Every structure is written in structure tokens, then in C-alpha cells.
Structure 1
Amino acid sequence: MSSAIDAIASGLVVSCQAEQGHPLHGPQFMAAMARAAAAAGAVGIRAEGAEDVAAVRAATGLPVIGIRKIRYSGGQRLFITPTYADAEQVVAAGASIVATEGTARPRPDGQNLATLIRQIHDRLGVPVMADVDSVESGLYAHRAGADLLASTLSGYTTDRAAAPDGPDIDLVAALAAATPLPVVAEGRIWTPEHVSAALAAGAHAVVVGTAITNPLEITRRFVSALRTPTRK
């Protein structure tokens, strides 16, 4: 196991991401978010794009899980770090781990997952985290050479059309039982109780994003509660 994977063991990784158009979009804001997370005890950061990865790494020195989000088919389909060139950019910026989609869905460049992982290992020398949506995808990514798995895509692909309201703890437990790889719990984790449940299910680490770093969505949830009639 690599030092970066060891460094996040049993800890909280905070996802610092804000897409274009978000009030907090930009490396300066993500670096500030990352510094706050580090000061509170986070053991790693997940960041998108070379600029944000570089800013976060410089601001904290924590291990960074780097990704690039690319949209295809007229913007309708999102793919996480689809190519070697994408991985190369985030590693050059300071990523300690590269995350990529770990499903068997056709990749935009026609390359298979095993080839991409082998290139990242051989040329960049960093571990690869496969974001998966099911146990089947986890097994596929394991065979392809992934170093760790994450439940990130549960509910976000055609294989799991209906996302659970909360984190997919069952998937975390199933992945931990099905493979020897470290499993990272990620996706719809809103409370400390969710974090505890994920660790109890066998998670190596837990990634929390929106509930910590997206004030737009946090505010919407509170405003929605104000509009919901209370029962007497």
C-alpha cells in the first residue's frame, strides 16, 4: 500500500470542488476551503483540475486525490479522469492519488481501464482509485489493477438509476467483502453518523464534499425545511 493510501486510513477526506458558475469557483477559494478542512483534522483533500489541485496541495501539504471532470455528448455525460493526459495533468499539479471512473462503461477515447491504470502506474508512479457504482464494477476495477475503490458513483450511472437518499453503506460493505482493496466511502454523506456507519461497514476512509464545502446546497436544504409544513 502506498504512503498516500496509508495517510488517509481511518480518516476524513474533504472534497473541495466548485464548478464554473458557482460563487466559490476558483483555486483561491478551494485552497481556503482546504486549509479550513486541514485545520479541523482532515487527512486528505479531493480536488478537480490542475489549478485547484496545485492550490490545495500548496495550501495544505495533505495528500490530494486528483480528478478531471470531462463532459461528452453535448454535455450530457460526465466522465471522471477519462484519459492518461487528464491523469498526467493532475499528477503534475501535485495529486498523490488519481481517481477515475471504474465502471465498464465505454470510455470516451476507446481505451480500457486496465490500460489506463497501467500507464498511470508505470509513467506517473501514483495509485489509482476507481470510482464505482456497484460490486460488479468494483470487481472489474480490481481486475484492471486499481489500488483502491470508492463508492462515489452509486446512483449516478445507468446501472443504479435511483440514488438512495443517503450514503450507500451497503455498497461499501459489499465492496469491502468482495475484494482485498481498501474501500473509500463517498457520496451523499451528510452527518457524522454516516461517517461512523461507513467506517463500521469496512471503509478505509470517508470522503465528504457537499455537506462541508458547498454552502449553496447546504443553504437549499435548510430553506427547503422552512417550506415543509410541520405536523402538529
Structure 2
Amino acid sequence: MYLPNDLIVSCQALEDEPLHSSFIMSKMALAAFQGGAKGIRANSKEDIIAIKKEVDLPVIGIVKRNYAGSEVYITATTREMDELIESGCEVIAMDATKYERPEKSLAELVAYVREKAPNVELMADCSTLEDAIEADKLGFDYVGTTLHGYTADTKGQKLYDNDFHFLKEIIQSVKAPVIAEGNIITPEMLERAFELGVHGVVVGGAITRPKQITERFAEKVK
């Protein structure tokens, strides 16, 4: 098992964001490492390679790419799988929702990585309890809450709603280690997630997206 029972920091910046740069993301990962993170989540082959040169931490790799006619954009096809295998990341995360995929089914994508890179672990980015249960049946190494609140049928929902009710349901329903991810913005939220029994917690925007952090402060100015 590559991922630690600890804090994992997501270091991502898309093309339209001020910090978009593999160099900057590698330094963001270094700052996270120096601050005590025990793992990194990163987007794109280029960013992961740069991060790997900077820190010796396990990396959850993804590739975000839009495909016409599909709601699935996190590691959606074998193209993204190949890029991530080449990056050297220890874990590949992929959209594990029910939505139509551009090419292969979720089960086929799992089989593809298992055959091509059996040493790489897989994380399921789920939005619903049904997603998590199905991902567990498919043999994912980790089940994550990443997409809860970000899909059409969960939009507006927050992971921390009702004292992490959704997270509790997943922990009780799957055998795979659970990774809490999505809208965990305070140390207290992280602490509560671990109290409930998660294997790891991914924190992103609260640490590595200064534009979003600034917005939270700016909106309080009357």
C-alpha cells in the first residue's frame, strides 16, 4: 500500500489559473512536504515528473481532459492511463461515477492498468455511495469521495454535511481503504475524518490555491 494513513496534499493548477506551471507545482509539493504532508495528488504527466524530482513522496496521479459527449474528465481513457504510467506515479485516480465514458468502461480501464502496470495502485474518485460500492467490487485499492458534490446528481452537497454522513456511509459499506477528499478546508475537518476511520485525507484548495483562499477572506469584507 503506497498511500499513508496521513495527510495528502493536492497540488494542482489548471491552465486558466495563475499558478499553472509544473515548476510552481513542484515547489508547492516541496512546501507541502516541508509542512508535513505524506503524499501528493497531482494533475498531468508533466507536473508529476517535476514533483517527483523535488520530493520523495507517493503521488496520486490524474489527468484532467475534456471529451465531447462525456461528463467524465478525470483520467477518462487509456491515453491518460498511459501518460500516468509513464509519469512514475504510484497511484492512478480515475472518475468512478456512473456517467458515460469516452471509450472503455470503468471495468475495462481497471483491467487495462492491472495488466500494463500491475505495480500501480488505483483510486476511485466517487460521487455517490453506489459509485463507491461498485468501485469496491471492481477491486480498486482505494475509494475516494473526490466527486461528491461535483456531479449533476450531487451538486451542492458537501462532504462535511451532517457530520460527514456520506463519508460514514462509505466507510461502513466498502472494504477498500477510504480516502476523504473534497471541501476539507480546516484542520478540524481533517481530524474528524480520521476519527471516523478514513485511511487518508486529501486537502487541496485550502492549502495550495491562494486565489480561492483569498476569495474566502475577501467575501467577508462588508
- Residue of structure 2 in register with 1:27 after alignment: 22
**Separation in 2 of the partners of 1:165 and 1:181?**
19
Query: Could you report, residue by residue, the CA deviation over 1:40-69 in whole angstroms, capped at 9, with x for unpaired residues?
Result: 110100000000010111110100000001
Which runs of 5 or more residues in structure 2 are unaligned?
Answer: none
What's the offset of the Cα at 1:124?
1.2
Does residue 155 of structure 1 match 2:149?
A: yes
Judge which range, 40-49 or 79-88, deviates more.
Answer: 79-88
* Partner of residue 198 from structure 2, selected from 203, 207, 210: 203
Map 1:32-111 → 2, pairs under 5 A:
32-73=27-68, 77=71, 79-109=73-103, 111=104
What's the offset of the Cα at 1:165?
7.8
- Residue of structure 2 in register with 1:164 after alignment: 158
What's the offset of the Cα at 1:21?
2.4
**Separation in 1 of the partners of 2:165 and 2:44?**
30
SS in 2 for 1:193: helix
Does residue 113 of structure 1 match 2:106?
A: yes
* Partner of residue 192 from structure 1, selected from 187, 191, 195: 187
SS in 1 for 2:101: coil
Which runs of 5 or more residues in structure 1 are unaligned?
Answer: 228-232
Query: Could you report, residue by residue, the CA deviation over 1:111-141 in whole angstroms, capped at 9, with x for unpaired residues?
Result: 1111111111121121110000111100111
Does residue 137 of structure 1 match 2:124?
A: no
Query: Could you report, residue by residue, the CA deviation over 1:3-48 in whole angstroms, capped at 9, with x for unpaired residues?
Result: x13xx11x10000000112121010000000000001110100000
Conserved 8 A contact 1:176-1:183: yes
What's the offset of the Cα at 1:214?
0.3
* Partner of residue 207 from structure 2, selected from 197, 208, 212: 212
**Separation in 1 of the partners of 2:100 and 2:150?**
16
Conserved 8 A contact 2:72-2:100: no
What's the offset of the Cα at 1:169?
2.0
Conserved 8 A contact 1:149-1:184: yes
SS in 1 for 2:220: helix
CA RMSD between the two structures: 1.6
Judge which range, 165-174 or 80-89, deviates more.
Answer: 165-174
Conserved 8 A contact 1:13-1:207: yes
SS in 2 for 1:30: helix
What's the offset of the Cα at 1:209?
0.3
Judge which range, 157-166 or 28-37, deviates more.
Answer: 157-166
Conserved 8 A contact 2:71-2:101: no
Question: What is the percentage of aligned positions where both structures have the same residue?
Answer: 37
- Residue of structure 1 in register with 2:7 after alignment: 12
Residue identity opposite 1:186 in structure 2: E
Judge which range, 185-194 or 165-174, deviates more.
Answer: 165-174
Conserved 8 A contact 1:70-1:82: yes
When normalised by structure 1's length, the TM-score is 0.90
SS in 2 for 1:226: coil
Conserved 8 A contact 1:172-1:184: no
Conserved 8 A contact 1:43-1:62: yes
